[in-house]
Structures are given as structure tokens and as C-alpha cells.
């Protein structure tokens, strides 16, 4: 199925390009549904509030550059996410001969201040272990889910492997090898939860 609107021009609304772009993503089916939904969310919440009333002709390098810089003042993450989806939508417009060039190619690069990654200290890890032990023992339990004995094991696997929570929850018996000289775990999936869908196990990790 090809995108439904094949008549976009420089005078078309940016919102029409966004729909055309999302239709193209769905037609190709090359990225996961999770990433596709993330793109749509970032476009809707970050980019459209600024560009939704503009035509493609009204969007220039200066406007794009100023927009990304404004987003960077809020957070580098927002600026990066905005830049990705805006670039992809405009890239499609160039490929389909709606626009002559991708304006995002001329936007200034993002500059991120160097920072030291945060990491738990041994003291903090022990505090977490103590809190989990108290919770699993039912000490002070008032509301919420009742302990089932799994949380401590999940956290220990995360600490020992640096795996994401979804990857740890997706581990199966067949993925665990305790018979070799060095016991190991194979990360071969992740748990995916999408709005309006049942949670399921995906047969490859997030970075696969």
C-alpha cells in the first residue's frame, strides 16, 4: 500500500507532509512498530506545535535552525528527537520531488556539554537491596502489588549483566547456561508494551 496523498507541493501544509511521511513508513514496514509510534509521538508533541500552521514553502533553514536551538535550551534530548523526525519527513519530501533540498542538512550541529554518566555506588546498591528485602518480607506493606519473590532476582540480573529491564524480563530457561565454566545468560529478546495492544515478548533485543 502506497501513501494515499501523491499530490503534495511546496504550498501543501506541513501537516499533510507528516501524514504522507507516516503513511510511507507504514507502507515500507522497515522499522518496528515501537519506533514508528515513537516517531509519531515526537512529531506530534515536539515539532507540530511549532510547524502545524505552516506550508512547506514557509519552512526555511532559519526557522528550522532556530527551532532546534530553542529545543536544545529545554534539553539536548528533545532537540535530538525533534531533529530526527523533522529531518526524516523533509528527506521524504526531497526523495519524492516535493522539495529541492533537505533544509535540515544546513542546520547547525547540536553541541552537547561533556558529562560524567551517573552510576549507582555500592552504598546505593545495598540500600536498594535492603528496601527490596523489606518489601518482599512484607514489612510495612500497605498497598500496591504483593511481593512474589521475583523482584530481587530481576534486580540482581540487571546489576550483573547491565541489561535493560525489558531484556531481563524476556529471559527464558533456554537462555541461561549454568553448566559452562563461566555461567552466562543470552539476551535474545525484550518485552514490548504498546498502547492499545497486549504486552508481548519480542524475539530480539532492543539493540539487535
- Does one domain contain both 102 and 181? no
CA distances from 18 to 13, 23, 152 (A): 9, 9, 44
Considering the domain boundaries, does residue 207 fall inside one? no
Using pLDDT thresholds of 50, 70 and 90, give the confidence band for residue 18. Answer: very high
Using pLDDT thresholds of 50, 70 and 90, give the confidence band for residue 41. Answer: very high
Residue 54 has pLDDT above 50, yes or no: yes
- Does one domain contain both 138 and 100? no
Whole-number pLDDT of residue 1 = 40
Whole-number pLDDT of residue 65 = 97
Residues spanned by the domain of 50: 14-106
Considering the domain boundaries, does residue 7 fall inside one? no
Considering the domain boundaries, does residue 179 fall inside one? yes
C-alpha cell of 54? 505552516
3-state secondary structure string across the chain: CCCCCCCCCCCCEHHHHHHHHHHHHHHHCCCCHHHHHHHHHHHHHHHHHHHCCCEHHHCCHHHHHHHHHHHHHHCHHHHHHHHHHHHHHHHHHHHCCCCCCCHHHHCCCCCCCCCCCCCCCHHHHHHHHHHHHHHHCCCCCCCCCCCCCCHHHHHHHHHHHCCCHHHHHCCCHHHEECCCCCCEECCCCEEECCCCCCCEEECCCCCC
- Does one domain contain both 96 and 21? yes
Residue 4 has pLDDT above 60, yes or no: no
Considering the domain boundaries, does residue 102 fall inside one? yes
Check which CATH number belongs to the domain holding 46 and give it. Answer: 1.10.150.130
- Does one domain contain both 22 and 57? yes
Whole-number pLDDT of residue 2 = 43
Contact 199, 193 (CB under 8 A): yes
pTM here is: 0.68
Query: CA angle, corner 93, sides to 92 and 97, nearest 5?
Result: 115
Q: How far is CA 81 from its chain centroid? A: 9
- Does one domain contain both 102 and 183? no
C-alpha cell of 14? 506541513
- Does one domain contain both 84 and 150? no
Strand-pair partners of 192: 200
Give 134-152 pLDDT, tens digit per residue.
Answer: 988 887 766 778 888 899 9
Final residue before a domain boundary, out of 78, 106, 134: 106
Residue 6 has pLDDT above 70, yes or no: no
- Does one domain contain both 89 and 136? no
Final residue before a domain boundary, out of 72, 106, 140: 106
Number of structural domains (the chain) is: 2
Amino acid at each position: 500500500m502506497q501513501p494515499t496523498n501523491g499530490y503534495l507541493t511546496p504550498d501543501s501544509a506541513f501537516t499533510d507532509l507528516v501524514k504522507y511521511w507516516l503513511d510511507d513508513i507504514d507502507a515500507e514496514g522497515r522499522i518496528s512498530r515501537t519506533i514508528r509510534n515513537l516517531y509519531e509521538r515526537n512529531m506530534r508533541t515536539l515539532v507540530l506545535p511549532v510547524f502545524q500552521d505552516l506550508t512547506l514553502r514557509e519552512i526555511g533553514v532559519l526557522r528550522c535552525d532556530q527551532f532546534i536551538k530553542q529545543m536544545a535550551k529545554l534539553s539536548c534530548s528533545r532537540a535530538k528527537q525533534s531533529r530526527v523526525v523533522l529531518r526524516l519527513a523533509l528527506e521524504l519530501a526531497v526523495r519524492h520531488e516535493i522539495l529541492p533540498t533537505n533544509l535540515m542538512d544546513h542546520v547547525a550541529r547540536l553541541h552537547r556539554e561533556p558529562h560524567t554518566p551517573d552510576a549507582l555506588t555500592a552504598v546505593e546498591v545495598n540500600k536498594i537491596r535492603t528496601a527490596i528485602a523489606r518489601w518482599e518480607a512484607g514489612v510495612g506493606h500497605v498497598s500496591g502489588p504483593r511481593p512474589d519473590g521475583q523482584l530481587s532476582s530481576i534486580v540482581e540480573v540487571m546489576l550483573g549483566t547491565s541489561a535493560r529491564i525489558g531484556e531481563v524480563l524476556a529471559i527464558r530457561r533456554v537462555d541461561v547456561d549454568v553448566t559452562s565454566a563461566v555461567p552466562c545468560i543470552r539476551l535474545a529478546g525484550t518485552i514490548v508494551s504498546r498502547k492499545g495492544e497486549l504486552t508481548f515478548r519480542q524475539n530480539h533485543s532492543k539493540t539487535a
